[in-house]
Amino acid sequence: MSKTAILTDSASDISRELEEKYGIDILPFQIVVDGQSYTERVDLTNEQYYELLAGAKDIPKTSQVTMTRFLEKFCAYADEGCDDVIYVSINSAGSSTYEAARMAAAALQEERPQSSMRVHVVDSHTYSMTYGWHVCEAARKLQSGADVPSVVQYLEDAFSRMEVLLSMYTLRFVKKSGRVSAAAAFAGELLGLRPIIRMVDNTTATVAKVRGDSNVIPGLVEQAKKHLVPGGVYLVGGTDEGNIKVLAKLCRKELGYAPAGTFLLGAAVATNTGPNAVAIVIEGEKRR
């Protein structure tokens, strides 16, 4: 039987349970908070990171997964006798991690000239469980006997449909990350406005603004009703289990069926959204 490894990075926000269930390898990002370096998924739980983030003096910085780290991983797979590796990357427009993986794949032949292992690098064009969910589904398909080309095609098709609807209860972090302009963020803080942000591939737009924290979740659900294709897959997530439960309940009521899953935002993603965020991942109309 052919042996295929499936690899992603920690911005996929795949839970430990799903990571172990599907045998997914996850390369972690490094994050620097007030001069101290941490490895995502290793040094801190999500909840510990939210607490650290809330008290940070400066906006933390994340580092890409390097070409050297990818090459080490690919060589290890080759030495184990893998026939194929599927690596699914964080959005290439927001991180050079994707390009680092491509460079490592090109350099593999020189490092392991005897290996015929194929490396498939797939750009998710997105963040968090928007791609993490489909990485898990790809692993399930492989376990069920699907061939590698069909799984890669599945991933590329899925990523041509997925969108993120995001909001947060404090705008400090999203302002620094550039998701909304500094002027809009400042006005929002003064007026108690909260943006509903729609992320599609490499574009980010504030599609609505709601007044007050109590309207954030209903505002997200209203946008989900507009953009979710009938019967499409959706998931709900955030940085607070209580908010996630409330959001999932309202989604089920308004959309007519339960989310496919729930998730916590990991450190790399929460660094940009802040420690008080909620999100709905939806399947929208196909774009590519």
**For 224-253, how does the pLDDT look when each residue is reduced to its tens digit (9 = 90+)?**
999 999 999 999 999 999 999 999 999 999
- Of 8-12, 101-105, 185-189, 195-199, least confident by mean pLDDT is 185-189
More reliable by pLDDT, 184 or 123? 123
Name the percent of the chain lying above pLDDT 70: 99
Both structure tokens of 106: 């090109």
Q: What is the mean pLDDT of residues 116-121?
A: 98
Assess whether pLDDT exceeds 60 at residue 1: no
More reliable by pLDDT, 164 or 190? 164
Both structure tokens of 40: 């995502």
Sheet of 118-123: strands edge to edge? 25-27, 4-9, 84-89, 118-123
pTM for the predicted model, two decimal places = 0.94
Assess whether pLDDT exceeds 70 at residue 163: yes
Assess whether pLDDT exceeds 60 at residue 161: yes
Phi, psi of 113 (to 5 degrees): -60, -20
Residue among 21, 2, 3, 5 at smallest CA distance from 120: 5
Rounded distance, CA 277 to CA 236, Å?
A: 11
Q: What is the mean pLDDT of residues 162-175?
A: 90
pLDDT of 2 reads: 74
Confidence of residue 201 (pLDDT cuts 50, 70, 90): very high
pLDDT of 174 reads: 81
Q: Burial-class residue 224 by CB neighbours within 10 Å (0-12, 13-18, 19+).
A: buried
Assess whether pLDDT exceeds 70 at residue 179: no
Q: Burial-class residue 152 by CB neighbours within 10 Å (0-12, 13-18, 19+).
A: middle
